[in-house]
Amino acid sequence: MFKHSVLATALTFVYAAASPGQAFAASDLDLAQMREEIRQMKQDYETRIRALETRLQSAEANKPAASQAAASAVEPSLPAEPARTAAMPPPAGMPAPAASGGASAFNPEISLILGGTYANLSQDPKQYRLQGFVPGGDSIGPGKRGLSLGESELTFRANVDPTFAGQLTFSLASDNSLSVEEAFFESKGLSNGLNLKGGRFLSSIGYLNSQHAHTWDFVDAPLAYQGFLGGQYKPDGAQIKWLAPTDRFFEVGLEAGSGASFPGNDSNRNGVGSLALFAHLGDDVGESASWRTGLSLLHTGAKDRTYQDIDRTGTGVTNAITGNANTVIVDGVYKWAPNGNATQTNFKLQGEYFRRRESGSLAYDTLAQSLGAASGSFSSAQSGWYLQGVYQFMPMWRAGLRYDKLHSGSPEIGLANGGALSAADFTRLAKYDPARTSLMVDYSPSEFSRFRLQLARDQSRPGVVDNQIFLQYIMSLGAHGAHTF
């Protein structure tokens, strides 16, 4: 209160100095009235001081929350790189200064994708198969009938230091199973355009493989991805990629993995089990269009990769394939938007061609439940492709058409050619060319939500037509980086 008393005294002095005549006449004034005026001035002053102090305390208390909200509003999809400059230690007795950085300087950014599907299928999905193709992977077929959760994803991502970043993505399937879809570290721009990635990741082969399912333009993967890669190829291994310092986009890369992903399997071996090479080339066409094309080669090996079949007696048997598979993928995409502005209208055309050669041995009835176990040579040459176009005809509305086609070829089965067994003992490998036509329309109220209707006519089995209707929703919550080209 000392400062308040000093102020009151000063105010009295100023008042007296401003009115000299009245100062000399102060003895004639009522001293009680003067004291009351001074008291009211002091009270008014103290009231204002308390109000200012309250506002200051409130502002200081809300400063961290306001700063955090502001940082979240402007923070990019990848967290800011943490500062690593050397600093002088604080003086003795002084607390260390708080570390600088945005809201995600120490906590990873989190994104959540919620998906759900309603499926109306004219054929029992439990009987689904791609005739002529050895089954594998966990993303084959249209899924189950009725309402179900789609693939929901939870992703954590953050910078490790100025050189590396890390990401972990969990996938929750409709059967409540939880799996690790991706878990990797990657460099943030090494010298000379080189980049390194290690862990489990979506391979960069082809075009669609490296994209998460919620970014696809259709509910399900093309038949070629289901037949040749079991849905998507996700190696556990390492990738090195080089981006050329040219005006035209050009990158090449090499991946080495354990080989456990289909068309390989977990063979309990040391060393590298799969190799992938890829190259991508792209450029703009004027101001309104752009394109990208690619060539990929995937080499995998399998040891006793089992699958279920039915022999000529109608008995279910377990067969196994051992050998190598070489898959070539040619991909291309063309995008158009008036003057490069895709918000009103745009068009995308994409397609991929697959060709795979397998060679090795085929073991029949490994559990000897029917005609007796046997083994012989095996080889096959198969191909497939898809082509799709998606047109955004007005803001928030798109329509798309996709056509899939596979060619199984006629496999060379040593047990059948030698007469020990017949081709009828390998029902699933009988020659057939699956096909499917899909039509979709989707509505996106914002970049974070989408609703889709898809109609499909699936002919993956001889003499069977599966008419399919899908309703899908996709919701994106939290931080989410930009999608690839």
Strands (E), 395-434: 397-407, 412-413
Neighbour count for residue 132 (Cβ, 10 Å) = 24
Q: Is 461 exposed, middle or buried (0-12, 13-18, 19+ CB in 10 A)?
A: middle
Nearest to 143, CA basis, from 57, 213, 53: 213
Q: How far apart are CA 412 and CA 415, in angstroms?
A: 9
Residue 429 located in a structural domain: yes
Q: Kindly report the average pLDDT of the chain as a whole number.
A: 85
Q: How far apart are CA 301 and CA 299, in angstroms?
A: 7
pLDDT for the residue numbered 83: 36
Q: What CA–CA distances, in Å, run from 230 to 130, 134, 263, 475? A: 11, 10, 7, 25
Q: Which residues pair with 392 in a beta bridge?
A: 346, 398
Q: What secondary structure letter does DSSP report for 25?
A: T
**Encoded amino acid at 307, one letter:** Y
Of the residues 19, 40, 60, which one is the last residue of a structural domain? 60
The DSSP-derived string for 149-214 is E--EEEEEEEE-SSSEEEEEEEEE-TTS-EEEEEEEEEES--GGGEEEEEEE----SSSSTTS-GG
Q: 302 and 367: one domain? A: yes
Both structure tokens of 255: 């991946």
Residue 178 located in a structural domain: yes
Neighbour count for residue 152 (Cβ, 10 Å) = 19
Q: How far apart are CA 20 and CA 310, in angstroms?
A: 119
φ and ψ at 233, to 5 degrees? -95, 120
Nearest to 300, CA basis, from 358, 343, 223: 358
The residue with greater pLDDT, 352 or 138, is 352
Q: 244 and 387: one domain? A: yes
Q: State the DSSP H helix or E strand holding residue 124, giving kind and residue range, or none if neither.
A: none
Beta carbons of 216 and 202 less than 8 angstroms apart: no
The residue with greater pLDDT, 248 or 68, is 248
Give the structural domain span for 176. Answer: 111-478
pLDDT for the residue numbered 45: 72
Q: 49 and 133: one domain? A: no
φ and ψ at 32, to 5 degrees? -65, -40
Residue 205 sits in a domain whose CATH number is: 2.40.160.10
- Give pLDDT tens digits for 165-193: 999 999 988 788 899 999 999 998 788 89
In b/e form, how buried is each residue of 415-437, taking b as 16+ CB within 10 angstroms? bbeeebbebebbebbeebbbbbe
Q: Is 50 exposed, middle or buried (0-12, 13-18, 19+ CB in 10 A)?
A: exposed
Residue 90 located in a structural domain: no
Residue 91 located in a structural domain: no
Q: How confident is the model at residue 103 (pLDDT cuts 50, 70, 90)?
A: very low
Q: Is 82 exposed, middle or buried (0-12, 13-18, 19+ CB in 10 A)?
A: middle
pLDDT for the residue numbered 59: 67
> At residue 10, does pLDDT exceed 70?
no
The residue with greater pLDDT, 206 or 268, is 206
- Give pLDDT tens digits for 108-126: 899 999 999 999 999 999 9
Q: What is the largest CA-CA distance in the chain?
A: 137
- Give pLDDT tens digits for 366-387: 988 888 889 999 999 999 999 9
The DSSP-derived string for 35-48 is HHHHHHHHHHHHHH
pLDDT for the residue numbered 403: 98
Q: 367 and 437: one domain? A: yes
> At residue 87, does pLDDT exceed 90?
no
The structure tokens 């279910």 sit at 316
* Cα 369 off chain centre by: 43
Q: 244 and 378: one domain? A: yes
Q: Mean pLDDT over residues 213-218, rounded?
A: 95
Q: How far apart are CA 75 and CA 94, in angstroms?
A: 31
The DSSP-derived string for 343-363 is TT-EEEEEEEEEEEEEEEEEE
Domain count, the chain: 2
pLDDT above 90 covers a percentage of the chain that reads 67
Q: 36 and 139: one domain? A: no
Q: 144 and 285: one domain? A: yes
pLDDT for the residue numbered 411: 94
Q: 310 and 418: one domain? A: yes
- Give pLDDT tens digits for 143-167: 999 999 888 999 999 999 999 999 9
Q: How confident is the model at residue 30 (pLDDT cuts 50, 70, 90)?
A: low
Q: Cβ neighbours of residue 406 under 8 Å, at least 6 residues apart?
A: 130, 132, 133, 223, 224, 227, 382, 383, 384, 433, 434, 435
- Give pLDDT tens digits for 435-468: 999 999 999 999 999 999 999 999 999 999 999 9
Residue 93 located in a structural domain: no
> At residue 97, does pLDDT exceed 50?
no
- Give pLDDT tens digits for 281-319: 999 999 999 999 999 999 999 999 999 999 999 999 999
Q: 199 and 50: one domain? A: no
- Give pLDDT tens digits for 358-370: 999 999 999 888 8
Q: Mean pLDDT over residues 56-81, rounded?
A: 45
> At residue 21, does pLDDT exceed 70?
no
pLDDT for the residue numbered 111: 94
Q: 131 and 50: one domain? A: no
Q: 41 and 159: one domain? A: no
Residue 419 located in a structural domain: yes
Of the residues 18, 36, 60, which one is the last residue of a structural domain? 60
Q: 164 and 262: one domain? A: yes
* Cα 252 off chain centre by: 22
Residue 386 located in a structural domain: yes
pLDDT for the residue numbered 14: 39
pLDDT for the residue numbered 106: 58
pLDDT for the residue numbered 300: 96
Residue 159 located in a structural domain: yes
Neighbour count for residue 348 (Cβ, 10 Å) = 18
Of the residues 21, 38, 60, which one is the last residue of a structural domain? 60
pLDDT for the residue numbered 337: 96
